[in-house]
């Protein structure tokens, strides 16, 4: 097991915001954490419809999110964004397959390494990528250091899953409240 996982691809793809896995957040089904976080920015729930369900692919969610009118965005968004992401990740990893991938990281440090200049959720590694592979160029703020809020949230959720035996029961109860048919799916998956 590596001591640090800084690429959410391959066997660790489920850790990525862009990974396609259905889950429920605030009563709506999302295809990815990227879609859920972009929708959560929007103050009026009915205006989130473009992000909900299986029509909104993860990369489309990011594009749509950049076009959200500022008057739609929650006034407290900058203060609550990390807390909302934590809740989204808890919901996403309540599903056994995704949770198994998260737990397979054991005690490794999780760093959302990226090349798209995201130093809030991760650490941009654009300067270390060969020139021919620099899809987004080089960011002026990209020094190889970042806040890595997503990595820290994932490690927190992993610890919650490992140390709290009630976590799975609580998550199952949360999901079954939203859709009784999901109780059957979760019970079958845990057998």
Cα–chain center distance at 8: 11
Query: What confidence tens digit (pLDDT) does each residue in 98-155 have?
Result: 999 999 999 999 999 887 777 788 888 777 766 666 666 666 677 778 889 999 999 9
- DSSP line for 26-88: TTEEES-HHHHHHHHTBSSGGGGGGGSBTTS-HHHHHHHHHT--GGGB-TTHHHHHHHHHHHH
Mean of pLDDT over the chain = 84
**How many angstroms separate the CA atoms of 40 and 155, rounded?**
22
* Cα(68)–Cα(60) distance, integer angstroms: 13
Out of 3.30.1490.190, 1.10.357.40, 1.10.150.130, 1.10.3720.10, which CATH number does the structure's domain 4-112+148-178 have?
Answer: 1.10.357.40
How far is C-alpha 48 from the geometric centre of its chain's CA atoms?
17
79-111: per-residue pLDDT in tens? Answer: 999 999 999 999 999 999 999 999 999 999 999
pTM of the model: 0.81
């Amino acid at each position: 097991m590596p001591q640090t996982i800084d690429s959410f691809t391959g066997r660790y793809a489920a850790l990525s915001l862009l990974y396609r896995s259905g889950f429920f957040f605030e009563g709506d089904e999302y295809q990815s954490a990227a879609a859920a976080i972009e929708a959560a920015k929007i103050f009026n729930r009915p205006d989130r419809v473009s992000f909900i369900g299986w029509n909104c692919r993860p990369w489309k969610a990011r594009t749509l999110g950049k076009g959200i009118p500022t008057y739609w965005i929650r006034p407290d968004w900058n203060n609550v964004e990390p807390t909302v992401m934590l809740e989204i990740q808890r919901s996403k990893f309540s599903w056994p397959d995704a949770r198994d991938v998260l737990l397979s990281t054991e005690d490794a440090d999780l760093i959302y390494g990226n090349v798209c200049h995201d130093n809030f959720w991760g650490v941009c590694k654009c300067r270390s990528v060969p020139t021919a592979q620099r899809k987004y160029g080089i960011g002026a703020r990209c020094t190889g250091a970042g806040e890595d809020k997503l990595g820290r949230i994932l490690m927190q959720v992993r610890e919650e899953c490992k140390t709290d035996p009630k976590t799975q029961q609580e998550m199952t109860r949360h999901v079954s409240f939203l859709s009784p048919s999901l109780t059957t799916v979760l019970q079958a998956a845990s057998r």
